[in-house]
A and B are shown apart, each in its own frame.
Chain A
Amino acid sequence: MLQQLVNALLLGGIYALVGVGFSLIYGVMNIINLAHGALIMLAAYTTFWVFQLYGVDPFASIVISMALFFVIGFILQKYIVNRVVGQNVLMTMVLTYGFELIAVNFALYFWHADYRAVNPTYAGTGLEIGDVVVPYIKLGILTVAIVLTSLLYLFMTRTKIGNAIQATSLNKDAAQLVGIDIQYIYSFTYGLSAALAAAAGTLIAIVYTVTPSMEGGFLGKAFVIAILGGLGNSLGAIVGGVVLALAETFGVVVFGAAYQQIVGYVIFLLVLIVRPCGLVGRRFFSEL
């Protein structure tokens, strides 16, 4: 039981990272970024290739993939997504799914549907505390996840651009009035979200196999995590990630391995219908 709890917490770190970037984009631009899973997948491949070809340690390659995907995200937003921000739900969602399709096709075309894995030498070793085993890799992942989310929090609260992002998400008209270039903020936000997705993808590549079809699963996870934490609430996504990890881990214990995904989606739908503001969010009221 204790082992399960530890596993869930370690998994929760990755999930939090998957959800934070996804929720961030929604919070600032009201866009459900259906390309989020694809970004994670491409980053996982980046990690794999950098490790395979140049022997770069996967933990070190986080920096590389984050920088790379920040640039990619920034460009995508600047030249394409910015043209449809504020249009109806369908347009923006379908557009981002266009990216997803292209990315998947790209991966399938060049790397085929093969399963690939990153195997650093320290894989398989772990810390033993009593009966509980904590693999070093997963401990490292959790540490990275905590460090990154803390950095994000500091960035959002302590830096000028972080404040500008928050201001834009609260009220874009007011933000514009005080001189914030919201087009730039949007691009920066997408870049930031893509970088976080890249970090998640890199960490995922260390513990899971990498394949072009992994994007769907992680996009689905991003949905569940973001809704659990309150859509658009990026810090809530951390809670959402941990809750989902716990639910999945114990769902498997109670119902069996086949139900891992089902548990997540059932919770997702229930929260959406009963408490759309998320587990930790507050309801908003407005007059007509």
Chain B
Amino acid sequence: MDILALRNVSKHFGGVAAVDGVNCSVRQGEIFGLIGPNGAGKTTLLNVICGLADPYQGEITFKDQRIAGKKPWDIARLGIGRTFQIVQPFHGLTIRENVAIGAMFGKKGHEGSIKEALSLADKALELTGLSHRADDLATQITLSQRKRLEMARALAMEPDLLLLDEVMAGLHLTEISEMMEIVKRVNEQGITIFIIEHVMKAVMGISHRIMVLHYGKTIAVDTPERIAENSRVIEVYLGERYAARRAKRLAGSEMGS
């Protein structure tokens, strides 16, 4: 079943189409990767989904409900959480409070008390390995911890769909594998994940399916293995000449065998 479906979605800035007629559907429970060179329109697409880039053309349905034109907070309450590429913590609040905000205002936000929100926050902090920093201010932690804070905050909203925008950018190798583990663990809890990532090893390693965006257009949607083999994708990432040489080489080796 599809949890999120985009039909012919376009977003123009002035005369430039940042997202140009994108169609895709994210299945319930999967990890859906979105890759593409810089300026491909990945973050814009995320903004469109979570209501930050209104108005746009096309149709988006989330759990069979149209969300076009809805405000970010309405979309958030339907069950979509997101993180930001450039971390955006709430300064002046502790880590725990930052995360509790998600619980206070997220999916079931209007029901619970502040106390309940704080205990939900503790759970999300544990899942992301931040418990030991709970009482620090958001300005006092490292980048890797701030990326996890973004994640914890979105998790505390108890979303059905989590949009992750480059949660691994700028991290070193061990931190990346830790983050991959966290993403997998979150997914095992039944949360569908839509992840933008530049770190190929990571996104190839955890995604069930991957979509490639180039100048706002979809050029491929497939499993990681087949994406790696897709000549159009290689062309986009490594240039036409490399793609042509590779095609020749492949043809040559086939002949040789």
**Closest partner residue, chain B, to A283 (CB atom):** B14
Q: Cβ of A288 and Cβ of B84 under 8 Å apart?
A: yes
Which residue from chain B places its CB closest to the CB of A286 in the assembled complex? B13
Interface presence of B47 (CB below 8 A): yes
Q: Which residues of chain A are within 8 angstroms of B44 by Cβ–Cβ distance?
A: 287
Smallest Cβ-Cβ distance to B39: which chain A residue? A287
**Which B residues lie within 8 Å of A283 (CB)?**
14
Please tell me if the beta carbons of B47 and A288 are within 8 angstroms of each other in the complex.
yes
The B contact surface, by secondary structure, is loop
B131 at the interface (CB under 8 A from A): no
Residue of A nearest to B52 (CB): A288
Q: Tell me whether A110 is interfacial, beta carbon within 8 Å.
A: no
For A285, the chain B residues whose CB sits under 8 A away are 13-14
A288 touches B13 (CB 8 A): no
Chain B, range 74-115, C-beta contacts under 8 Å to A? 84-86
Assess whether B128 is interfacial by the CB under 8 Å rule.
Answer: no
Q: Please, which residues of chain A bring their CB within 8 A of the CB of B13? A: 285
Judge if B43 is at the interface, Cβ distance under 8 Å. Answer: yes
Mark interface residues in A264-287 (1 if CB within 8 Å of B CB, else 0).
000000000000000000010101
CB neighbours of A288 from chain B (8 A): 43, 47, 52, 84-86
Q: Taking CB as reference atom, which chain A residue is nearest B84?
A: A288
Residue of A nearest to B47 (CB): A288
Contact with A along B52-79 (1 / 0, CB 8 A): 1000000000000000000000000000
Chain B: which residue is nearest A285 at the CB level? B13
User: By the criterion CB–CB under 8 Å, are B43 and A287 in contact?
Assistant: yes
Which A residues touch B52, using CB under 8 A?
Answer: 288
- Identify the closest chain A residue to B88 (Cβ): A288
B1-58 contacts to A (CB < 8 Å): 13-14, 43-44, 47, 52
Report B59 CB to chain A, min CB distance, Å: 23
A284 to chain B, nearest CB (A): 10
A-B contact pairs, 12 of them (CB 8 A): A283-B14, A285-B13, A285-B14, A287-B43, A287-B44, A287-B47, A288-B43, A288-B47, A288-B52, A288-B84, A288-B85, A288-B86
Binding site for A on B (CB under 8 A): 13-14, 43-44, 47, 52, 84-86
Q: Given contacts A285-B14, A287-B44, A288-B52, could you give 6 more A-B pairs where the C-beta distance is less than 8 Å?
A: A283-B14, A285-B13, A287-B47, A288-B47, A288-B85, A288-B86
